[in-house]
Amino acid sequence: MANFRFLTAGESHGQCLTAIVEGIPAGLKINLDEINKDMARRQQGYGRGGRMKIETDKAEFLSGVRFGETMGDPVTIKVANRDWQNWTDRMSVMGEEYGDKVTAVRPGHADLTGVLKYDRDDARDILERASARETATRVAVGGLCKQLLKACGIEVVSHVVKIGGIGIDESAVDYSQIGQGSSELNCYDPAAEEKMKQRIHEAMVEGDTLGGVFEVIIRGVPLGLGSHIQWDKRLDGKLAWAMMGIQAIKGVEIGAGFKCGELPGSQIHDEMFYDEKHNVYRKTNRAGGLEGGMSNGEDIVVRACMKPIPTLMKPLHSVDIGSGEEVLACKERSDVCAVSAASVVGEAMAAIVIAEALTDKFGNDAMVDLLAAMQAYKARVQG
């Protein structure tokens, strides 16, 4: 049985979203403002839909925290859906059926497969849970994990590297600023960000949507999290799974990623050097901080690619599952582009995976024991 786990529940337009997190050690001081800053970051971004004007997402702790400190109990977090007020009839828990059914299923969405698999005649029964609204709870859980990681000297940050085919110029990015600044698209190449916004505007006018790529960087991870000994203990595999588990993610890369398939070993592997100050060190990080399924002490670098959102204001050709007729897919309020939001969710999922790996290695009863175990281990491996 895993020593760290979490579950989320809730529909996009239901009363609230909730999460239960088990495995956070006792004695962790909680900074609610920090968590809510990430909740707000997830909501921002040029190209977000009207829903973001309705919500002011806040994480509310219902259990597991007393006087601002964790007790070692399962932590329950609630995120209210303000928009629920407008959906009490259509999303009534025990009332009579109300409102039109969603039957013009959207290509690229869970709609069609979901109604068939779960034997529903209204795609709303599927789309409400498939919605990326659920990621609000993941950011709350990730925010809690980030605080655990911060107490252990680990930081998780992210930035957007591509939207709608417009990429950053890596040489224009001040990597030390990532995680500090306040960019609308969470992009640290200002010239590229302007072009991305222009592209999003064009897509909006065209009734289209855009995807992109974000990068998560995890700094300060001790070497040796994860393991080479079994496929399901590999930290790179867990990170890839966590990223792919975010709605709309279609690809994940670690370090040099797909470039590894193009270049010879001499240009991929990070050569090792030695001096008394650094012990064994590397000058490059094409491995993205992971070798043999284990963290190697360098920054962990993961990229994920998000497809364009399937709700198009100029809808695609589809089929009505009620009548069987060929129709245009349904359209309802949505985002033109949510890659910057996904980057914040990526941070959260990475924080969750690293928190799990860290507590797996160093224990999760009490913070004091975890920190002591980690310090003793670092002293041994770092010499």
Binding site for ligand EPS (CB under 6 A): 12, 49, 51, 83, 131-133, 135-136, 309, 311, 333-335, 338, 341
- Least separation in angstroms between CB 109 and ligand EPS: 7
Beta strand pairing call for 60-63 and 75-80? antiparallel
**Which whole-number Å values give the CA distances from 165 to 3, 200, 210, 211, 314, in the listed order?**
41, 11, 9, 9, 20
Shortest Å distance, C-beta 11 to ligand EPS: 10
Nearest by Cα to 219 from 350, 60, 93, 318 = 350
Least distance to ligand EPS, CB of residue 247, Å: 7
- The closest alpha carbon to 52, from 83, 77, 78, belongs to 83
Closest distance of CB 129 from ligand EPS, Å:
10
Closer to ligand EPS by CB, 102 or 294: give it: 102
Residue nearest to ligand EPS (CB): 131
Contacts of 170 (CB under 8 A, 6+ apart): none
- Distance, in Å, from the CA atom of 135 to the CA atom of 303, rounded to the nearest integer, reads 18
By 3-state DSSP, what share of the chain in percent is helix, strand and coil, each rounded to 5?
Answer: 35, 20, 40
Give the Cα-Cα-Cα angle 108, 113, 116 (nearest 5 degrees): 155
Q: How far is the CB of 309 from ligand EPS (least distance, A)?
A: 5
Q: Which is nearer to ligand EPS, 133 or 238 (CB)?
A: 133
Q: Which is nearer to ligand EPS, 222 or 308 (CB)?
A: 308
CB of 50 to ligand EPS, least distance (A): 6
